[in-house]
């Protein structure tokens, strides 16, 4: 999985969970102290430390205080007779985002905190915030107040386009929440929303809490470097190999023992099964019930109605066209790969490979025919050097200065803190926590999570706060953390999300950072990752951790050529995941049979590539399915936005990365969601976007 950006909008369609804890009233002094903390501009490390609760008691007290503040401020807004944009719409935006900020802060602690008691407490607090939010924000009184402003007061003042976008967004979200419906139907929407959020939370927690591993002897780890083996838990020659992503990829590509690869493959591909199979069926059923009440034939139809793709048919056409092209190339790739398989591996009767043999066979083929050894190349990319190189690229192109500093407080000793400044003015734009290394009970993939967005305070903007999570291998006593090229691309991608969030400079909190349309959110990050396919950039970042020498240009060229050599297979896999997510939510015959749907798609696209393994349930750990606001049926957005991203990057490169395009990128990032996304694209390109650069970059046509 690539990444999951986390984003909640409490005013948009809101799924909410049943309350677990009943909070008592909080002392006024505590409320005032908390309100001052969460409302302040976080422009120092000391203030940054203050926004995070440190104990279970603080989590519960802050949650109670936040809910009381939200209730009081909402009542005050609703009581206003002479409504203006400032005292109604803007006030609602500011007030709701106080609660959203706490939600986001608690959520990152649930993803990362090593203390089980803290993780349990924040998850219960999150459920309480969700429950209280439905009473505050999904109610007809609020909808009528917003509608009253739009119908009777808006004409008395002149709104900027950004203001109008906020108003229109609120009205649309109210209708998507069912606030225009009769009371009986609205109550159904509320109940379903509560049940859905609980199910979505359960689905993600089951993935996050998964600590599965296989146990093998050292002989079964043949081919793996000692630095990797030495980090595994071992008891009397019984090594525990966990299913986290970085460990999985290393074993699947380098371990010479097929039985080990197979065992880890089957364990990884059954993460969170069977528990999430049950959760998913119930989730899908209730989503379709909700969509029906709101007037849609399926959840996918509802989910896509607010995207630039608009309809299921448009997404199907987009995905199947790319899949058909990618499949043709993938067939050629597998045919070539099977001409020279490593010892002990043979293709099946129909020419397919076992899925646990694909990565290892590809590694063997690349070493022999491209002279590319990813493990050897990784020795030129110690994580600390890569961070410095990435910082240089972003700083130079975007006109920023990064300072690595010691946080006053963080949830784990491995966490970095970066201060981000604008070079031209010295303005502190934001803070970015980097939580880079794998550990138990940590979110197992890569993502950037918002904490506090940069919206206006008077004539200035708040300082942004974000967190970036990856799961790279930790340094050992003898060897630093080393990154393969795919790891570096992941870092570059996620750091692009971070820049999008931190550099956002908008009037309203609802538009801050990457609060953009769901099928635009991945554009900046995927645009930035294209830098990592430029030989000169890769060379500048390379330095062998022992010899301090750069990687030679011939090896770099061969390594980067692998992008096109394997692009058919990897693009086809993305298409299959996207089609699965889409068709799972179309209320069709296979929508409630995820295992059968998965197998049918595998049969359509991979039957002549890899042998199907019927015992796997990969979808049970497909977290995007539960992330309704950003993904859900919209996993296609990775490919959709990649087309746009490569189109943008091609134009930047054609113009030699000059200052004009640096400024264009800064404007695109700073706009956040204050300008319609497609308008940002066409303004940047000065034309309609197209797929030409995408197909050329991946060698698909």
Across 418-424, average pLDDT: 97
Confidence of residue 136 (pLDDT cuts 50, 70, 90): confident
pLDDT at 23 over 60: no
The confidence score (pLDDT) of residue 5 equals 36
Percent above pLDDT 70 for the chain: 96
The DSSP symbol for 511 reads: G
CA distance 313 to 310: 9
More confidently predicted of 518 and 572: 572
**Chain center to CA of 285:** 25
Across 404-424, average pLDDT: 97
CA distance 353 to 363: 14
**Which run of H or of E encompasses 4?**
none
Across 328-340, average pLDDT: 96
The confidence score (pLDDT) of residue 4 equals 35
- Which three-class secondary structure state does DSSP give residue 467? strand
The confidence score (pLDDT) of residue 569 equals 97
Long-range contacts of 334-339 (CB under 8 A, 24+ apart): 334/569, 334/608, 334/609, 337/361, 337/362, 337/365
Q: Parallel, antiparallel, or unpaired: how do β-strands 464-472 and 428-437 relate?
A: parallel
The confidence score (pLDDT) of residue 27 equals 87
pLDDT at 194 over 70: yes
269-282 tens-digit pLDDT? 999 999 999 999 99
The confidence score (pLDDT) of residue 456 equals 85
Confidence of residue 24 (pLDDT cuts 50, 70, 90): low
Confidence of residue 268 (pLDDT cuts 50, 70, 90): very high
Q: How many beta carbons lie within 10 A of that of residue 458, not counting itself?
A: 5
What pTM was computed for the model? Answer: 0.90
Confidence of residue 7 (pLDDT cuts 50, 70, 90): very low
Please confirm whether the linkage preceding 280 is cis (ω < 30° from 0).
Answer: no
The confidence score (pLDDT) of residue 20 equals 33
371-411 tens-digit pLDDT? 999 999 999 999 999 999 999 999 999 999 999 999 999 99
Across 321-328, average pLDDT: 97
CA distance 134 to 99: 12
Mean residue pLDDT across the chain:
92
The distance in angstroms from the start CA to the end CA of the chain is 25
60-89 tens-digit pLDDT? 999 999 999 999 999 999 999 999 999 999
Confidence of residue 316 (pLDDT cuts 50, 70, 90): very high
Confidence of residue 15 (pLDDT cuts 50, 70, 90): very low
543 and 385 Cβ atoms separated by less than 8 Å: yes
CA distance 584 to 574: 15
462-494 tens-digit pLDDT? 999 999 999 998 998 889 999 999 999 999 999
Q: In this structure, what token pair is assigned to residue 505? A: 């400079």
Across 51-59, average pLDDT: 97
Across 351-371, average pLDDT: 95
pLDDT at 144 over 50: yes
666-698 tens-digit pLDDT? 999 999 999 999 999 999 999 999 999 999 999
Distances (CA, A) of 187 to 170, 178, 181: 20, 9, 9
Query: Which residues share a beta bridge with 402?
Result: 420
304 and 585 Cβ atoms separated by less than 8 Å: no
Confidence of residue 12 (pLDDT cuts 50, 70, 90): very low
The confidence score (pLDDT) of residue 139 equals 85
Confidence of residue 209 (pLDDT cuts 50, 70, 90): confident
Across 157-173, average pLDDT: 95
Q: Range with the lowest mean pLDDT among 20-34, 48-62, 77-91, 200-214?
A: 20-34
pLDDT at 22 over 60: no
The confidence score (pLDDT) of residue 629 equals 82
pLDDT at 429 over 70: yes
The confidence score (pLDDT) of residue 6 equals 34
**DSSP per-residue letters across 313-380:** HHHHHHHHHHHHHHHHHHHHHHHHHTTSPPTT----TTS-B-HHHHHHHHHHHHHHHS---HHHHHTT
**Closest residue by Cα to residue 619 from 324, 214, 279, 248:** 279
The residue length of the chain stands at 701
More confidently predicted of 24 and 5: 24
SS3 string of 21-61? CCCCCCCHHHHHHHHHHHHCCCCCHHHHHHCCCCCHHHHHH
Confidence of residue 444 (pLDDT cuts 50, 70, 90): confident
Percent above pLDDT 90 for the chain: 86
Confidence of residue 183 (pLDDT cuts 50, 70, 90): very high
CA distance 682 to 647: 11
Confidence of residue 2 (pLDDT cuts 50, 70, 90): very low
CA distance 38 to 99: 9
The confidence score (pLDDT) of residue 493 equals 95
Measured at the CA of 461, the angle between CA 459 and CA 465, to 5 degrees, comes to 170
């Amino acid at each position: 999985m690539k990444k999951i950006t986390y984003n909640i909008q409490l005013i948009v369609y809101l799924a909410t969970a049943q309350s677990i804890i009943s909070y008592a009233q909080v002392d006024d002094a505590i409320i005032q102290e908390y309100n001052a903390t969460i409302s302040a501009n976080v422009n120092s490390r000391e203030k940054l430390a203050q926004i995070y609760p440190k104990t279970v008691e603080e989590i519960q007290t802050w949650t109670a205080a936040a809910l009381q503040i939200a209730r009081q401020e909402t009542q005050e807004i609703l009581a206003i007779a002479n409504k203006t944009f400032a005292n109604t719409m803007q006030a609602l935006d500011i007030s709701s985002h106080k609660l959203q900020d706490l939600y986001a802060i608690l959520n990152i602690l649930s993803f990362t905190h090593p203390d089980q008691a803290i993780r349990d407490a924040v998850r219960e607090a999150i459920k309480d915030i969700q429950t209280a939010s439905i009473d505050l924000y999904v109610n007809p009184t609020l909808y009528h107040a917003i509608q009253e402003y739009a119908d009777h007061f808006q004409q008395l003042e002149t709104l900027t386009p950004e203001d109008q976008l906020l108003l229109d967004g609120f009205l649309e979200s109210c209708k998507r929440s069912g606030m225009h419906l009769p009371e009986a139907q609205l109550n159904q929407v509320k109940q379903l929303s509560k049940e859905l959020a609980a199910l979505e939370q359960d689905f993600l927690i089951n993935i996050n809490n998964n600590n599965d591993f296989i146990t093998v002897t050292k002989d079964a780890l043949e081919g793996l470097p000692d630095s990797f083996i030495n980090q595994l838990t071992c008891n009397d020659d019984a090594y525990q190999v966990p299913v986290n992503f970085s460990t999985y990829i290393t074993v699947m590509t380098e371990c010479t023992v097929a039985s080990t690869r197979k065992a880890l493959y089957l364990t990884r591909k059954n993460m969170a099964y069977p528990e999430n199979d049950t959760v998913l069926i119930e989730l899908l059923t209730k989503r379709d019930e909700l969509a029906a009440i709101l007037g849609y034939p399926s959840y996918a139809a509802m989910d896509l109605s607010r995207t630039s793709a608009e309809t299921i048919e448009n997404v199907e056409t987009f995905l199947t066209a790319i899949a058909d092209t990618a499949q043709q190339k993938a067939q050629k790739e597998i045919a070539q790969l099977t001409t020279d398989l490593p010892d002990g591996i043979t293709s099946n009767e129909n020419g397919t490979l076992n899925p646990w043999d694909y990565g290892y066979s590809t590694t063997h083929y690349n070493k022999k025919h491209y002279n590319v050894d990813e493990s050897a190349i990784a020795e030129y990319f110690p994580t600390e050097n890569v961070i410095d190189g990435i910082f240089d690229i972003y700083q130079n192109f975007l006109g920023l200065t990064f300072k690595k500093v010691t946080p006053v407080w963080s949830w784990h000793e491995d966490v970095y803190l970066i201060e981000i400044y604008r070079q031209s003015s010295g303005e502190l734009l934001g803070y970015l926590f980097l939580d880079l290394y794998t550990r138990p009970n940590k979110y197992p993939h890569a993502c950037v999570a918002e904490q506090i967005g940069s919206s206006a305070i008077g004539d200035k903007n708040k300082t942004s706060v974000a967190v970036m999570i990856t799961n790279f291998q930790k340094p050992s006593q003898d060897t630093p953390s080393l990154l393969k090229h795919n790891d570096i691309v992941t870092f570059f991608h996620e750091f692009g999300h971070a820049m999008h969030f931190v550099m956002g400079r908008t009037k309203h909190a609802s538009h801050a950072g990457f609060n953009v349309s769901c099928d635009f959110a991945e554009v900046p990050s995927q645009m930035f990752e294209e830098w990592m396919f430029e030989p000169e950039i890769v060379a500048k970042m390379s330095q062998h951790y022992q010899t301090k020498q750069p990687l030679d240009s011939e090896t770099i060229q061969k390594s980067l050529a692998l992008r096109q050599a394997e692009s058919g297979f990897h693009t086809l896999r993305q298409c299959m995941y996207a089609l699965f997510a889409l068709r799972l939510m179309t209320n069709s015959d296979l929508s409630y049979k995820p295992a059968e749907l998965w197998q049918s798609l595998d049969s359509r696209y991979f039957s002549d590539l890899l042998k199907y393994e019927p015992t796997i349930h990969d979808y049970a750990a497909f977290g995007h399915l539960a992330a309704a606001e950003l993904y859900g049926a919209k996993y296609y957005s990775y490919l959709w936005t990649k087309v746009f991203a490569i189109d943008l990057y091609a134009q930047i490169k054609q113009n030699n990365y000059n200052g004009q395009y640096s400024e264009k990128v800064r404007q695109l990032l700073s706009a956040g969601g204050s300008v319609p996304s497609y308008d940002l694209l066409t303004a940047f390109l000065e034309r309609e976007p197209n797929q030409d650069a995408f197909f050329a970059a991946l060698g698909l046509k």
